[in-house]
Structure 1
Amino acid sequence: MTEVVVTGLGIAAPTGLGLDAYWANTLAGVSGLGRVTRFDPSNYPARLAGEIRDFAAEEVLPSRLLPQTDRMTRIALVAADWAFADAGVVPADLPEYDVGVITASHSGGFEFGQNELRALWSKGGQYVSAYQSFAWFYAVNSGQISIRNGLRGPSSVVVTDQAGGLDALAQARRQIRKGTSMVLAGAVDASICPWGWVAQLTSGRLSERDDPARAYLPFDDRAAGHVPGEGGALLVLENAEHARARGARVYGVVAGHASTVDPAPGRDRAPTLQKAIDHALADAGAVPDEIDVVFADAAAVPELDRAEAEAITKVFGPRGVPVTAPKTGTGRLYSGAAPLDLAAALLAIRDGVLPPTVHTTLSERYELDLVTGAPRRADVRSALVVARGQGGFNSAMVVRAPR
């Protein structure tokens, strides 16, 4: 079976733009949560977010792209540039059909759509941008990245909410096993605008607290919902032989993946997160004792936290594996969250350190070995990343240290 490796990381998060800034701040326990600044949140029940505050698209992208792109896509385009640069790849130098792009999306370009609908309502249809036909669409990041870099390999988009980022990486792995040399995969989401905010509030899962240190507390007795965020990560996945042939630096191996869907509410069947974890381990040819850390989904909704803690405990035993959720410092980035966690898992493997879960105090009701307070030194050879999307989507992925 073809081995698929990760050779490049492009990270954009509320705690740092670029790999080095994100990782340093994550290990330092820096929080990117704060009061929303992209609009006035005063009249909304939830007022905190993980915003990327120092991103200036006009400084890093051609001016022709700005009128046709949502903030989400602008961040994704830059993250793609960083991922390719980190992998030591110049896309234009590669055969155009050898590289694909597979991304995930939670909500599409909400802010772009909001602005054009405002123009329609207030001024009339002649004031609506022609770019509205695609700038809001779920697949736009895959399309714009492909066009910008001249990539014509297999490309697609996955829409499974927070689980989508891992599912996109799994799709990339499948395409590489079918013969594609390289795929850029992952997700970036950004919908911190009034229209997007109202849509997120309908989930009933947003924290309504105003203190960033008390707002997003997974596995804590005080848990009362999550704080949304923007950003994510795009990763360069590659055929291992192709990577070796060009002398690439390898972060790790995508060793296993599985996805499941929970039964509809009211059914007698049990949730299927544990099944996703079990199948991911089986796909990786791994047993629970081989996993050195779990990056949790960390919903911060009591019943969802309980279900995740029970699944982890059933697979690994009580306090049987370190668990961490660095997304407490960024907010939940929807489809961008799990690729960011996967990038953090690969950096944990590289540096032998587990990032902390900030703010949270572990409840005694959960039999987890949660990494809190400070980073923990560890020999990390394999990591499991777990993600769940609203609607019952579950995804789990195993990555290993390079050989």
Structure 2
Amino acid sequence: MTTHAPLAGSPATGHRDPALVTGLDVRAANGSGTEAFWQSLLEGHSGIGRITRFDASGYPSRLAGEIDDFDPATTLPSRLLPQTDRVTQLALTSASEVLRDAGLDPTELPEYGVGVVTANSAGGFEFGQRELESLWAKGPRHVSAYQSFAWFYAVNTGQISIRHGLRGPSGVLVSGQTGGLDAVGHARRILRKGTPAVLTGAMESALCPWGHVAELTGNRLSTADRPEDACLPFGERATGQVAAEGGALLVLESAASARARGSIRDYGEVAGYAACFDPPPGSGRPGGLVRAARAALADAGTEPSAIGAVFAEGAAVPELDSQEAAAITEIFGPHAVPVTAITSLTGRPGAGASALDLAAALLAVRDKLIPPTADAGHVSAAHLIDLVTGRPRPLAGDAALVLARGHGGFNSAVVVRRADRPRQSFRPSNETTGR
């Protein structure tokens, strides 16, 4: 496991080859496939609804962001199905799509030229529950040998690496919701050490009774009965989060490698990244989100005035929303930058949530559009932020800031911007987008 540590990498350390996103694939409750997901965001389409994967009638929280159009039997070899949890099946499917989207054939790069870094905070919960039920009901001889690795939070990295022959530096991050950003930050470190490309991002799926109970212990899930009332970030009626599955994978590639192989995609540059921890509870010191954001801006060599949008965590928990709104205001000033929170449309799939935010920020910078937050009702007057609601808004400038926090004091931030190199016009095909 890679430790969660701050990244020092400001422009003052000298020129570094830009880290470009040359492939992107999204799996989300409101749309799978990059362009389908993006269109859903722009239209304000929510994927939150009643839990159908199990009988949730006896639970206090009965809504989730489920991916209801995924059949692993149509995308994966049959031999892999009994070996893997749903989260790994999602990750393997997404990995194939993101390599295709990037036009990246690993065999055309050096043997150790492509690494894998993913984040996951739950592991294969559904697989684990199924095997525990077999243990209790039938005995240890009926527990699958695959349980030894199918439950593990590192399994996505391992299975992707094996299936696609990606033998470069690899790792896994376990840092709650910040994991999607932390995985990309670590992947960028790997590029700077000389590896041409890294497949990175985060995927989560723990929508089973065991996983849902684990979520409930955090006391942050909404108990609303109607999807439109469930996840209201920064709204006065906010009552909590909504569990979900999904995430995003991307190919992060050095600009030199992308040029050398004639990359057909360019979603933008991961220009800045930083992470830090909150101080100990009761210390009286402020949280670390402002520090992480400012460090990411410095790493990108970017002033706050150059940021066209902030993609907020949007916890939909009043106390956490107040903290994030105050942090944004401290960095940018009152109502000085458009803010959006897409978890209102996707739910919160652990580490996958920040990966989805990052994907949305890249697409926003590409298309110069900010997707709206779902209607959160009246925004508290105490939140001095310019929340984008109702319809997309034009994005001014070429950069966006993505914020994330994880339970236990994790804080991470990423700056993305349009890359400087020339682009080729491209309209994704149905095969590429997964539609």
Q: TM-score scaled to structure 2, two decimals?
A: 0.91
Q: Shift in Å at residue 380 of structure 1?
A: 4.1
AA paired with 1:266? G
Give runs of aligned pairs for residues 186-205 of structure 1, distance below 5 A.
186-205=201-220
Pair 1:383-2:400 in alignment: yes
Identify the match of residue 62 of structure 2 among 44, 47, 58.
Answer: 47
Aligned to 1:264: 280
Q: Shift in Å at residue 111 of structure 1?
A: 0.4
Q: Shift in Å at residue 386 of structure 1?
A: 0.3
For 1:113 and 1:92, locate their aligned partners in 2 and report how far apart those are by CA, in whole Å. Answer: 34
Pair 1:246-2:261 in alignment: yes
Aligned to 1:72: 87
Pair 1:182-2:186 in alignment: no
- 1:187-226 Cα offsets, whole Å, 9 max, x none, are 0000000000000000000000010001100100001100
Q: Shift in Å at residue 377 of structure 1?
A: 1.9
Contact in 1 for aligned 2:231/2:343 (Cα 8 Å): no
Q: Shift in Å at residue 30 of structure 1?
A: 0.5
Moved more, 225-234 or 267-276: 267-276
Identify the match of residue 297 of structure 1 among 313, 327, 330.
Answer: 313
Pair 1:223-2:271 in alignment: no
Misfit runs of 4+, over 4 Å: none
Give runs of aligned pairs for residues 270-349 of structure 1, distance below 5 A.
270-349=286-365
Q: Shift in Å at residue 91 of structure 1?
A: 2.6
Q: Shift in Å at residue 45 of structure 1?
A: 0.3
Q: Shift in Å at residue 95 of structure 1?
A: 2.8
Q: Shift in Å at residue 365 of structure 1?
A: 1.7
For 1:322 and 1:159, locate their aligned partners in 2 and report how far apart those are by CA, in whole Å. Answer: 30
Aligned to 1:372: 389
For 1:278 and 1:175, locate their aligned partners in 2 and report how far apart those are by CA, in whole Å. Answer: 23
For 2:253 and 2:74, locate their aligned partners in 1 and report how far apart those are by CA, in whole Å. Answer: 30
Aligned to 1:400: 417
Q: Shift in Å at residue 96 of structure 1?
A: 3.0
**How many pairs align?**
403
For 2:397 and 2:40, locate their aligned partners in 1 and report how far apart those are by CA, in whole Å. Answer: 20
Q: Shift in Å at residue 340 of structure 1?
A: 1.1
AA paired with 1:299? A
Aligned to 2:174: 159
Q: Shift in Å at residue 147 of structure 1?
A: 0.3
Moved more, 377-386 or 2-11: 377-386
Q: Shift in Å at residue 92 of structure 1?
A: 3.6
Contact in 1 for aligned 2:306/2:397 (Cα 8 Å): no
Aligned to 2:98: 83
Q: Where do 5+ consecutive residues of structure 2 fail to align?
A: 1-15, 421-435
- Identity, % of aligned pairs? 59
Moved more, 341-350 or 38-47: 341-350
Moved more, 232-241 or 343-352: 343-352
- 1:208-267 Cα offsets, whole Å, 9 max, x none, are 001000110010000110011100000100011110112212111111111011122222
Contact in 1 for aligned 2:277/2:410 (Cα 8 Å): yes
Q: TM-score scaled to structure 1, two decimals?
A: 0.99
Equivalent residue of 1:96, what SS? coil
Contact in 1 for aligned 2:325/2:383 (Cα 8 Å): yes
Contact in 2 for aligned 1:92/1:149 (Cα 8 Å): no
Q: Shift in Å at residue 82 of structure 1?
A: 1.1
Give runs of aligned pairs for residues 114-125 of structure 1, distance below 5 A.
114-125=129-140
- 1:162-198 Cα offsets, whole Å, 9 max, x none, are 0111000000000000000000010000000000000
Q: Shift in Å at residue 270 of structure 1?
A: 1.3
AA paired with 1:319? H
Question: How well do the aligned residues superpose, as a CA RMSD in angstroms?
Answer: 0.9
AA paired with 1:284? A
For 2:187 and 2:397, locate their aligned partners in 1 and report how far apart those are by CA, in whole Å. Answer: 24
Equivalent residue of 2:22, what SS? strand
AA paired with 2:394? R
Aligned to 1:147: 162
Q: Shift in Å at residue 400 of structure 1?
A: 0.9
Contact in 1 for aligned 2:28/2:67 (Cα 8 Å): yes
Aligned to 1:56: 71
Pair 1:350-2:366 in alignment: yes
Q: Shift in Å at residue 4 of structure 1?
A: 0.7
Contact in 1 for aligned 2:338/2:388 (Cα 8 Å): yes
Contact in 2 for aligned 1:10/1:81 (Cα 8 Å): no
For 2:299 and 2:217, locate their aligned partners in 1 and report how far apart those are by CA, in whole Å. Answer: 36
- 1:17-56 Cα offsets, whole Å, 9 max, x none, are 1011111111111110001000000010000000000100
